[in-house]
Every structure is written in structure tokens, then in C-alpha cells.
Structure 1
Amino acid sequence: MIREILNIILASAENAFLQVSVFVGVVLLLFGYINYKKSGKFVESIEKSKKIQPILGALLGLTPGCGGAIFIMPLFVKGKVSYGTIIATLIATMGDSAFVIISTLPIQYIVVSAISFIVAVITGYIVDYYKVGEKLIKNITKLPNQEIKKINEESDHTVQNMSINYMHIGHEEGDEIDIALHHNAKGHQNINSIGYKITHSGFYIYWGFIFVGFILGVMLLFQIDVNTLGIKNLGKIIGIIGTVISIIMMIMSNKFLQDDTHEEEELKRMSLKETLIHNAQETAFVSTWVYVAYLIYEISIFIIGNGNYASGELILTNIMVSQGLLAVIVGALVGLIPGCGPQVIFVTLFTRGMVPFAALVSNAISQDGDALFPLLAIDKKSSLWATIITTIPALVIGVIIYFVEIKMGLF
């Protein structure tokens, strides 16, 4: 029994890294470089386009990861975008879980993104039509200028003192948003901490494992047994070590539910090196949660099949069919949890065939990723209403798609 569980733990580490994590890393690096090059210019264009802001917000939300959505949040409090734009952005974003489905099921990603975009735009315009944002922004408590100045003078400005061209996106240095996002909330790592030194020097090694693992992962796609190459058990070695490094990187980054902060997203736009460092941390974060999802899946199969894998898969399929509607509701409820960790697990379980497509759509619409954290730091009431509003269409659309799947015999 113990030996079988140990084998599951090691095999899950190998498979999670080579089948998903390495592809997530490469895709994330590609989008990270694109985001670095555009340096928040799209955010500026949204500020100037009042009538189509929900559409532009939804488009920015569709970009994989949380960066685009994170930048939009302070703009509402500044009065530069409508609340409907915030809602559209949050509905459209899949956060870091987008990287998982892009890397494994790209067609399904396109379909989910199209559905999310349409729902996001419609919901955004409805919210603006009923002027929900105007009521919320009137009740946001503003700090007196003198108090803001005092807090700013007493705050840690380590990031601004680093040797990079640091600039804010969506707000200014020393304003109320700066206080909330950079000084009263979790931000950059202390440059003297062990975690900082490991993540800011070990990222080279981590990317090395990602790229070697990527080559092996591509070989696996062509049905090549990577454990019988020149080096015996090469796939196992790279996969297991890669997962272990991912876990260490995540712990040293001090990230568990939340991956990116507003401050870190700004840093990635200022320096290519910071982009590589933080993308390594983000890859490690996603990789660790993918590994957790693989463990959940494999151990579930082992337990319900009483050690018989084929039997376990059959029983699990029957459970999924009989509890499909419940899975849709669970998908929406998981989406209520701020942060990307639980969402990565849910999406990974979909890629493993453990939840129906309708549940994936429900979760994609409901979840806000890390983008909710900046809004939560600035104004709790606005973030609470955003969570409630995004969950309503998630349940409605999820249930509709579920019954469509039933009628068409797809589920």
C-alpha cells in the first residue's frame, strides 16, 4: 500500500512536469515577453475609450495570466474606467489556469475564451446601464492628503531604489492607490531574505530544467519513451527534480493561493530580467498546483478502484456523469475563491477528464484569479460585489451548457 502510494507520488511528479508544467513555462515566457514589450500601453488606451471600455477590458482579461486584469483594478477607483469594465475583465480572465488549458487542450481554450468574452461584454454593459459603479465609488472612503503623505514617507521604498526604471501603471507614486497596493499589502520580497536570494539567482537553473523538460515533453507527444534514451530514466529524473524545484521556488516566493501582485506585474514591465525571474516564480506556482491536481486525480483513482486503475477510472466516469450538474455548481463556487491556486487544480482536473466542459465554463466565468486582490486592498465592498456579480452568469451559462451537452449526447 505504502509502496503504491509512493509510486503515485513520484509518477505524478514526473507526469505533471513533463506533460503540463514545461509547456506552461514556455507559453508563459512567450506571453511574459509580449507583456514586457507593450509596457501597459493597452491600459492607457482603455482609459481613453470610454464607450467600448467593457469590450477592451474583456479583451485584456482574455490575455493568459493575471497581469492585464490586475492593471485594470486601480483605474476604477481613479474614475478612469467604469465598474462594468471591471466586471467584464474579471469574467473574461482565467488567470494562471489559462496556461494549463492552452498547453494541453488549446481548442477547448478557444471555445471557453469565446464564451467568456461574450458573457463578459454583455454583463459589463448591463452593470454600467444600471450604474452600479457610480453607487459604489461614491461610498469609497478617501484618506486625507496629509495622512497619505505621512504613510508614504514612512513606507518601504526598496523597489524604487532598485537599479531599474520603476514606474507605476494605473496610479502615481505616493497616492492612495500606491499606499494600498505597495505599502499596506503584500508586495516585493525583502532583498535581504533567503527567499529573494534563492528566487533571484536560482531562476537560471529552473529555466534550464524547463527547457530540457520541454524537449522531453515534445518527445512524449510523439510517443517516444524518454526513459529509454541514452541516460536511463532521464524522464523520471528531470520530471521529479523539476517538480521538487517548482515546489521550492513557490515556497521561497512565499506564494500559495495568490501568484502575482500589482507591484510584481509592474516590475515585469520594467526589466527583462525581472520578467524572467517572476515568470519562473509564476511557472513554479502553476507547476506545484498542477502536481497537486495530478495527485488528487491519481489517488482518487487508486482509492475508488481499490488499486485497480481501469476500474477506478470507470467508477469515476460514472460518478462524473451522475453528478454533472453538481460539478457545474462546484466550478462556480471554486471560482469564488480569490487567487489562482484552486482554479489551476480545477482546470487540471478537467484536462484529466474529471469534470465536464460545462463546469469548466462555469469556473472560467466565475473565477477572478489574482486580479481581485488589488481591488480587495483598495475597496472591499467593490470586490465583494464583483465576486457576486461574476458568479451569477457563471451559474446560468454553466447550467445552460450542461443541458446542451446532455441533449447533444456529449456528456
Structure 2
Amino acid sequence: MRRSLWLTIFFVVVGIFCFSFSSNLHAETATSNRIGVGAIVDLTGPHAELGQLNVRGMEDYFRYINETTSGISERKIDLRVVDSGHNISNTFKNAEAFRQSDQVNIVAIWDGHIFEKANTLFVKHPVPHMDASECRTLPHPPVSYTYLPFGNAALDCYAILQYIEASHEGSAPPRIGILTTHDVCGKSIHAPSMAYASNHPLQIVAILEFSPNTPDLTPKILKLRDMGAEYIFMQCAPADAVAVLQSADRIHYNIPFFGAWTMADAHFFTLGKSLIRNRLNISFPGCLPGDNTSGVHLLKVLVDRYKSVSGFHIAYWEGVSIAAIMARAIQRAHETLGKIDGPTVNLALETFENEDFGGLIPNITYTDTDHNAFFVTRIVRVNANGTFTPLTKFWNPKTEKVTVIP
């Protein structure tokens, strides 16, 4: 058993993340014995629980690499975290410190509102930055140095609407209500949803918006019910999703709800435990504990080794996944360009072609004209006990038809 465990760990590190244990691949001038990476995330404020899990995932992954390998170019990875605290001015000031330090080679940003402000700063000072908020769709060609690690908002729209279309019973087209917060993330699903609906046999009865942290959304839910919505597609924070379910219960409105995986974090299960009742389905591109993949084995190794979380958490998975992307890009910059800095890491990311992360996330492709990572996901039911049940296989909703799991 001990030999089997160490073989598993060996193949997880070598097979998935392709770290080199040789220091003589390329000559490289290092100004430090550590490689700086950054994260801008809410550690305080309304989204603190989510942000803390994101950071634990990153910390555990980099710690594992530092402890079990010689690092990259014989250098350890140093994660530097800025607490955005849902405060744009403070975050922008701290992000400027990142820029001036010249010690951070790639940055992850978890707040879509913050990202819009910080984006120009990191473009001026060439540091690749990843929008992990899942609120955007990048243009073609993309904004320089800007990357999405988990696909984009259009992916969720296409997948959710195609699944509803495929699973809907009855001869009439399904009637869908869209309910989102009045902010960048909420609005990100409006146009893609309308674009999909314009070419498919389904009807979007209304797109309604509300202010974040609205405690009672009964008037919005009543309006959607009166308009005949048979499904509600949400884009909002976990606490707002709980408010939606509470309001639906007030009027005994029992229909399926859909949304992005970002709402199904630990905070959501704490607040909405009695409300979920297996009626919420999400678009989720990541691995789940039931998957027999190297990515799942890696998560188990990290959880067992560091015990920073108990069980499976989507926010923790996000942190591990982004850390894996960052480390792969840094290693590629070292191997192919002999230097690790913002511009070389950016070039390394653009060499990703069907990069395999062992099922942790779908294979990633970045080019100099597309920084959107992938367009693959699956639909997953959120269970009241905090577990997840796949309802479909992974698929590309632009080019493939959904396969519903019986």
C-alpha cells in the first residue's frame, strides 16, 4: 500500500504537471532564489469564505511542489496574496505594489469588478493575469496579458440552455427566466443567452436584474412565474442565490434552477442547506470526487497531506487548478526561453495546445489570438448534503450535442 501511494504521488507530479528536476535545461539568470506569483482575492468582506478557500488551494499546491520537488530552475514558488476585501481602491493600491516590486511573474484575480480596474495596470507593466471570476468573455484578439483559466460566461450560457432544451418534456419550447445581479458578473450572461436562444427552440421570457444582497426577491420571482417561466437561470453570488430560493419557496414556485459553479461554494451550503432540495443544477468544468482521474487523486493527496480543508470544495479546486496553470506556464518559460519573467510566462501560456492537466480541468489551449482556455463543461446537480451528481458528460456546447446521463 505504501509503495502504491508513493507511485500515485509520483505520477501525479510528473505525469500531470511536467515539472523538470534538472537544473541544466537552460542557463537562466535569477535575481532571487524564489519565483513570485500573485493572487488578488477577497480574504475579508462578504466573499471572505470563498476567497480563503481559493487561497488555500493555491497555497497547498505550491507548498506541495516546493516540498516534493526541486522546484523550477532550482527555485521555489512564492505566493504573494493581496486581500481585495471587496474594496477597489485598496486593491488597486496593493496591485500597484505588485507592479512596482518587479517580483511577481503572473497574477490571479478573483473579483470581476476588481479585474476591470486592475487590468490596465498589469497590461502597462507586462505581467500575465488571470480573471478567475468567470464573469467575462475575452475578445478576439484578446487583451494583451489577460487570460481566462476556466472558459467564459458564454460557455455556461450555451451549456445550460442546451441542457434545458435537451431534457425539457413537452411539445412546446421551454420557457426560461434569467435572473441576475445588476453588475458585471450578472450582465455577462445576458447577451450570450439571447444569442443562443435566437437560434434554438426555446424562449427567454424575461431578463430581470436586482441589486446584490437584496434580502427579498419575491417580486422578481412572482414576475417570472406570471410570465410562465419553467426554469430560472441565475448569475449571482451564493448569498443572492439563497435569497432566490427562499423567495421561490414563499410563493411555492417549484421549478429547476440553473447557474454557474461559482455560486455553489461552502458559504452557499451553510446558508441554503434546507433550501437546496436537489433543484439547483450548475455548469461545472472541473473534476468531482467520483471521477477516476489523476486530478482527483491530486486533490486527495493535498487534502490528506495539509488538511486545510475537509472534503471536496469547488473554491479549493479553483485555487489548485489556477496554481497548476501558473506552474505549468512558469516551467514552460524556463524550458523554452531560459528566463522567467512576465513577458516569457506570457509567451509560454500562448504555447499551450491541448495541455493535459489529468482531468483536474479540461485540456487548455491558448494562442496569440485566443486566451479563453477551453469551451468544455458538464451539467452537475447540487445536492443538499454538499455533494454533486453529474447529469451530463463533458462536451463542447458549440460543436457537440449534450449527452444526458440516464
Q: Which fold has the larger relative contact order, with Cα–Cα distance below 8 Å and residues 6 or more apart in sequence?
A: 1
TM range (shorter): under 0.3
TM-score using structure 1 length: 0.23
